[in-house]
Amino acid sequence: MSVATQQSQQSQQYDDEELMGFAGPMLEAGISPQDCKKLADSGLHTVESVAFTPKKVLAGIKGISDQKADKIIAEAQKIVPMGFKSASVIHAMRSELVHITTGSTQLDTLLGGGIETGSITELFGEFRTGKSQICHTLAVTCQLPTSMGGGEGKCLYIDTEGTFRPVRLLAVAERYGLDGEEVLNNVAYARAYNADHQNQLLVQASALMSESRFSLLIVDSCTALYRTDFNGRGELSARQGHLGKFLRTLLRLADEFGIAVVVTNQVMSSPDAAAAMYGGNDKKPIGGNIMAHASTTRLQLKKGRANTRVCRIYDSPCLPESEAQFAILAHGIGDPEEET
């Protein structure tokens, strides 16, 4: 047997083993390995992701017919419970949710313990309000044990503006006594260059999450590329549809893997009466209603004195409207009184 043949068989064996890890229950339900591979190639790496996907999306995958899509969805929904549950069950599940510390005690208190897993948290504000600094700090604190306010998982970081700086992660790691090299190795970083690429990266993110334990996904910024890739009112509908699909995939990943999703958002000037909706501020977040409805918790960041910033809860299903101060320090986000 030739070396090339042996390598081909080993590669096929590896692919089959990797596929079995994802599609074991689907294979037992009568879905062919070829169809399971088509699903995985499309970014559907778990039975939950298949069950959550609309039929027309599955039918749009090359080689998956309408009839086959019906069968795949039916089998997936037999495995994944998607019916009604009592409120007591949901309450018990939410009581076990992990919160990831922001590095600031005051900010964590405002957020009810930190950034909530299993949902999308949006940070919006002008430049220099601390959005990227919070993201850098969270990329480290998510790796801490739960007893220290962490998520005991890795971080996925999608950067659309080129603001990612590993040196900031090292400073935060030193603060918490973590090994800097290990912290950097636990952050999977990708630079997005256009809106389509930004969407494609979520397919890769899903594959990574199915292979290893991640607790946080960061997109900084979620909307920057949409402002340049789609111009004018003529492309507004296409932009909002594309953005809505991206945000829906983020929410699916949060549900599927139980990770915290943190997205930053830019703002635009609004000198008219619409500014009254945002506390009288002449700046409002871009993305419209699509962005507003997709985000579970929306946090407005404002500049304070010196290195102090103000975080205000603009929208949340369970947190009251309130605000807290935090500071941007050499070792990441902290409380204002920590400054020396």
* Residue 68 to residue 31: CA distance in whole angstroms: 9
Whose tokens are 């600094």? That residue is: 133
What integer pLDDT is reported at residue 165 of this predicted model?
96
Residue 2's contacts (CB-CB under 8 Å, 6 or more residues apart) are none
In this prediction, what percent of the chain has a pLDDT beyond 70? 88
What integer pLDDT is reported at residue 3 of this predicted model?
37
* Residue 44 to residue 80: CA distance in whole angstroms: 14
How many alpha carbons fall within 13 Å on the CB side of residue 97? Answer: 21
* Residue 188 to residue 143: CA distance in whole angstroms: 13
Contact yes or no for 265/286 (Cβ under 8 A): yes
Q: H or E segment at 120? A: strand 120-125
Find the angle CA(260)-CA(262)-CA(268) to the nearest 5 degrees: 160
In this prediction, what percent of the chain has a pLDDT beyond 90? 58
Q: What is the pLDDT of residues 226-272, one digit of tens each?
A: 988 998 888 989 999 999 999 999 999 999 899 999 999 998 877 65
H-type helices in the chain, by residue range? 3-28, 33-41, 47-52, 55-59, 66-79, 87-95, 105-110, 131-141, 166-175, 180-185, 195-211, 224-229, 236-257, 288-294
Report how far apart, in Å, the C-alpha atoms of 242 and of each of 12, 13, 168, 254, 306 are. 35, 37, 32, 19, 38
Contact yes or no for 101/150 (Cβ under 8 A): yes
- φ and ψ at 57, to 5 degrees? -70, -45
Is residue 280's pLDDT more than 80?
A: no
pTM above 0.75, yes or no: yes
Rg (CA), the chain: 22
For residue 320, the 8-state DSSP code is P
Whose tokens are 């964590």? That residue is: 108
Mean pLDDT of the chain: 87
What integer pLDDT is reported at residue 284 of this predicted model?
87
- φ and ψ at 220, to 5 degrees? -130, 100
What integer pLDDT is reported at residue 94 of this predicted model?
86
What integer pLDDT is reported at residue 11 of this predicted model?
38
Contact yes or no for 97/116 (Cβ under 8 A): yes
Q: What is the pLDDT of residues 140-187, one digit of tens each?
A: 999 999 999 999 999 999 999 999 999 999 999 999 999 999 999 999
Report how far apart, in Å, the C-alpha atoms of 119 and of each of 98, 283, 293, 295 are. 11, 25, 12, 8
**CA-closest candidate to residue 269, choices 252, 257, 286, 254:** 286
Number of H helices, E strands in the chain: 14, 13
